[in-house]
Structure 1
Amino acid sequence: MKIIILGAGQVGTTLAENLVSEDNDITLVDNEQERLISLQDKHDLRVVTGAASSPSVLREAGAMDADLLVAVTNSDETNMVACQIAYTLFHTPTKIARIRNIEYLREKERLFQPDVIPIDHIISPENLVTGDIVHLIDYPGALQVAHFANKQISVVVCKAYYGGPLVGYAISALREHLPHIDCRIVSIFRQDKAIRPQASTIIEAGDEVTFICATEHIKAVMSELQRLERPYKRVMIAGGGNIGLSVAQKLENSCTVKLIERKAERAAQLAEKLSNTLVFHGDASDHGLLFEEQIENMDVFISLTSDDEANIMSALLAKRLGAKKVMVLIQRMAYINLIQGGGVDIVVSPQQATISALLGHVRKGDIIHVASLRHGTAEALEAIMHGDETSSNIIGRKISDLKLPNSALIGAVLRGGEVIIARKDLIIQEKDHVVVYLADKKQVSEIEKLFQPTTLFI
């Protein structure tokens, strides 16, 4: 696939790194030549220096025969104009744009149409991150929750702790503990080393476990791995930007929410917009303010400013002062692996949320949804089965007979509204929604080829 990525910031760079190893022809466009040269030295991709919305720059980047254009510059307006030019001058088939401004998003149904601003798919990092945070609030104790198949199947990452009934026992004991609930453990990380789960594998305290189950059973399965935490009811948010505001709006009717904003004018605006949230003007790293607002009674402290260092420091302080859980928004990928688990309970990454959404539009073989896991090293994906036994490599075959890459596991299938946890003798049928866990995302091209119908299928 020939792909043009506009913008070599965190998202554009991470997306290019993800796709360049998957047999794609990538061209990266940005104004900063030094950054592009550095990326070209590391990866097998083309670079073009110039303005992302310039017709001549897009022509030089190969927009005439590009299959996909992804506009992820820091400017919504540049992204929109680039998509318009790609459509009008070069007839680019698929155009994706990152849009952050809430005003544009409110009017998206009227604005982003072929005869107005021709953007095929909109990616909003703020909305994606808000959704991720709300999922984590809904499932206390989870490190990551990704929904698939119309939210009927979920992939969940959580840690095993002493007190969980399955800790110290083999995975096979899960069926005895939960005889009426089916689930598949697809991955275990123990001291940062991957273990391929077998029925005889013993779950140990501290293991990071990834499992797939029907969404309605998430809490029941989690209760086997750790003492199920009480629902989060008292939440404190640091940072009143777009994400902080959006999270507060989602939570304020079901939780007691306090929000701390550094800028007085912005705090006043937030107080008007939020009807059931207590808004404070102050610094979230102020020991006295946190103590005064009873941080020790908070179920979760969520640090959502635009400053990574400030987020980390305020979260560590909140944890030290008694907050039961702390969640931190981190922009820089280099920080993520350093801090999660070391005083910070959960890290949320706008880049990974955006990459997950983008990959769902880039993958071949009718792969409709992708979740980036373990900070980009693993993936879960959902594919719809098309064709028949003569035109498909999968339909009509048992899972045990499929030539899956060695890091891939089929975890579950949605068939006619019913969730089926995958076993070796399950036969895949047409129109099945298949959820696959891929421990090594370098093998994703093999999955794409396997899931694509042959040329016999029309």
Structure 2
Amino acid sequence: MKIIIAGAGEVGFHLAKLLSYESQEITLIDTNKESLNYADNHLDIKVIKGDATSISILKEARVKTSDLLIAVTSSETTNITVSVLAKQLGAKRTIARISNTEFISHKDEIEFTKLGIDELISPEALAASEIELLLDQSAFNDSYEFEDGALTMVALNLSSTALFVGKTVKEAAQIFSEIHFVPIAIQRFGTQFTIIPRGDTKLKRGDNVVFITSEGGAEELCKVTGKTNKDIKNVMILGGSKIGFKATRDLSNRGFNVKLIEKDKERSFELADLIPQALVINGDGRNVDLLDEESIEEMDAFISVTGNSETNIMSCLVAKSKGVAKTIALVENMDYFELSHSIGIDTLINKKLLAANNIFRYIRKGEVVAMTKLNNMNAELLEFVVKPTSNICNELIKEIDFPRSAIIGGVIRNGKGLIALGDFKIQEGDRVVVCCLPKSIKKVEKLFL
């Protein structure tokens, strides 16, 4: 695919990096010479210095023959303008990054597609939604919903209390026959290798295991692993950024008791007016005395979303030391993901990764309707719609020539999530959730064309 990215900031560079690994033809446009030089020296892409809203610059990037234009500059207005111009100049598909989440909630009313914008994304809104989902599934360190929860991906570390530790996947399936969950990816403790489990794969203590669950599966998983999906009511959020504001507002509207700590005095008063149902505190969240004064030990969850990754990590560690059960930190550096479990923080979230996941489904072949990369694992979760022409249509799963480095986690049929094993027959219209390593993506895509 020929892809143009407008904006070489954090999100733009990260996208260019991921897409260049997949041998896509990438052109990156930005006005900042330093950012472009770094991208040019580190990635196999074409760079153009200039204003992406310039028609001549877009023509230089050969927008007329582009399959996808992604506008992810720091300016919402620029992104909308670039997308509209690119569509008029011949781009097949356009995606604009926005910060005003009202646009997303009213997109059917406004009909942005008529303006030339096929998709709107807000990394901040995605991060806030991720926080809500993680609080709803408090026992797990990662979570992702397909079709409003018909199937849910959850991840956890296996402790010695898990009933299937030491058993193979096949043995565990025989013991827990009427289950609503299935393992789809494993990372062994102390390694960076991702394993797609087969029947003879042994589950070991310390494994970080990703499961697909259908309705009731998360509760069953808690029971057999000794985890507790604690009911979270009291939440402390550090940082009144766009993410902090949206998470506080949405959680307060759902009945959570939220305390929001913001360092900037003017911003604190602004937030207090915008979110009257939450308690907004003006202070430095790095001050342990302040956290003690605000009864951090009574909190069920602590979420740190300041603009500084190190502050977020350290404050979450302080919260853990005070007995807070669930901690979530926003980080910019992807390398920190490898450290999250070893240093004791429950979940790290990253805006760039969330935005990339949202965008990536547009470059996958087959009808991909949802996609996420697994945190700290070299694997993707893809949701495909089965067409009558798909090679797997009307086939039993056990008879499909599926690559060993991929696995079908579940199927959504008529809105109901199902754990699909070998004797399950795939039908037209099914939404199939697949977990696969990068080397098997192309082969998996072909099965759904």
Structure 1 length normalisation: TM-score?
A: 0.90
Gap change, CA 1:20 and 1:184, over 3 Å in 2: same
CA contact (8 A) 1:5 1:12 kept: yes
- Residue in 1 that maps onto 2:97: 98
- Residue in 1 that maps onto 2:446: 449
Alignment of structure 1 residues 199-348 onto 2, 5 Å = 199-252=199-252, 253-348=254-349
Point out the more displaced range, 129-138 or 315-324: 315-324
CA contact (8 A) 2:251 2:258 kept: yes
Point out the more displaced range, 64-73 or 292-301: 292-301
Post-superposition shift, 1:279? Answer: 1.5
Letter in 2 for 1:79: N
- Residue in 2 that maps onto 1:145: 143
Where in structure 1 are there 5+ consecutive unaligned residues?
453-458
Letter in 2 for 1:230: K
Q: Please give the secondary structure, in 2, of the residue aligned with 1:341.
A: helix
Alpha-carbon RMSD across the aligned residues, in angstroms, is 2.2
In 1, Cα distance between equivalents of 2:227 and 2:112: 49
- Deviation track 1:340-367 (CA, whole Å, cap 9, x = no partner) reads 4313221011111111111122222111
In 2, Cα distance between equivalents of 1:443 and 1:173: 26
Point out the more displaced range, 334-343 or 150-159: 334-343
In 2, Cα distance between equivalents of 1:263 and 1:427: 58
- Residue in 1 that maps onto 2:158: 160
In 1, Cα distance between equivalents of 2:38 and 2:447: 34
In 1, Cα distance between equivalents of 2:2 and 2:271: 44
Q: 1:427 aligns with which of 425, 428, 449?
A: 425
In 2, Cα distance between equivalents of 1:424 and 1:58: 50
Post-superposition shift, 1:277? Answer: 1.8
In 1, Cα distance between equivalents of 2:94 and 2:199: 45
Post-superposition shift, 1:281? Answer: 0.8
- Deviation track 1:171-216 (CA, whole Å, cap 9, x = no partner) reads 3454466443332111111122334424454433321011112143
Q: Please give the secondary structure, in 1, of the residue aligned with 2:120.
A: strand
Letter in 1 for 2:6: L
In 2, Cα distance between equivalents of 1:291 and 1:246: 25
In 1, Cα distance between equivalents of 2:383 and 2:104: 26
CA contact (8 A) 1:385 1:395 kept: yes
Letter in 2 for 1:100: S
Q: Please give the secondary structure, in 2, of the residue aligned with 1:64.
A: helix
Alignment of structure 1 residues 5-16 onto 2, 5 Å = 5-16=5-16
Gap change, CA 1:231 and 1:111, over 3 Å in 2: same
In 2, Cα distance between equivalents of 1:91 and 1:70: 14
In 2, Cα distance between equivalents of 1:99 and 1:59: 24
Q: Please give the secondary structure, in 1, of the residue aligned with 2:266.
A: helix
In 1, Cα distance between equivalents of 2:167 and 2:404: 26
Letter in 1 for 2:124: E
- Residue in 2 that maps onto 1:369: 370
Q: Please give the secondary structure, in 2, of the residue aligned with 1:269.
A: helix
* Corresponding pairs, count: 446
Q: Please give the secondary structure, in 1, of the residue aligned with 2:403.
A: coil
Alignment of structure 1 residues 5-154 onto 2, 5 Å = 5-88=5-88, 90-102=89-101, 104-105=103-104, 108-109=107-108, 111=110, 113-115=112-114, 117-154=115-152
In 2, Cα distance between equivalents of 1:170 and 1:443: 23
Letter in 2 for 1:432: D
CA contact (8 A) 1:352 1:375 kept: no
Post-superposition shift, 1:112? Answer: 5.2
Post-superposition shift, 1:377? Answer: 2.3
In 1, Cα distance between equivalents of 2:176 and 2:260: 40
Gap change, CA 1:222 and 1:53, over 3 Å in 2: farther
Q: 1:393 aligns with which of 391, 394, 399?
A: 391
- Residue in 2 that maps onto 1:456: none
Post-superposition shift, 1:274? Answer: 2.2
CA contact (8 A) 2:169 2:200 kept: yes
In 1, Cα distance between equivalents of 2:142 and 2:95: 25
- Deviation track 1:11-30 (CA, whole Å, cap 9, x = no partner) reads 22222222233342221212
Letter in 2 for 1:18: L
In 2, Cα distance between equivalents of 1:236 and 1:186: 33
CA contact (8 A) 1:352 1:376 kept: no
Letter in 2 for 1:424: G
CA contact (8 A) 2:180 2:213 kept: yes
- Residue in 2 that maps onto 1:358: 359
Post-superposition shift, 1:168? Answer: 4.1
Letter in 2 for 1:123: I
Letter in 2 for 1:349: N
Post-superposition shift, 1:429? Answer: 1.5
- Deviation track 1:205-230 (CA, whole Å, cap 9, x = no partner) reads 32101111214322222332232142
Q: Please give the secondary structure, in 1, of the residue aligned with 2:323.
A: coil
CA contact (8 A) 1:234 1:299 kept: yes
CA contact (8 A) 2:304 2:312 kept: yes
Identical columns (%): 35
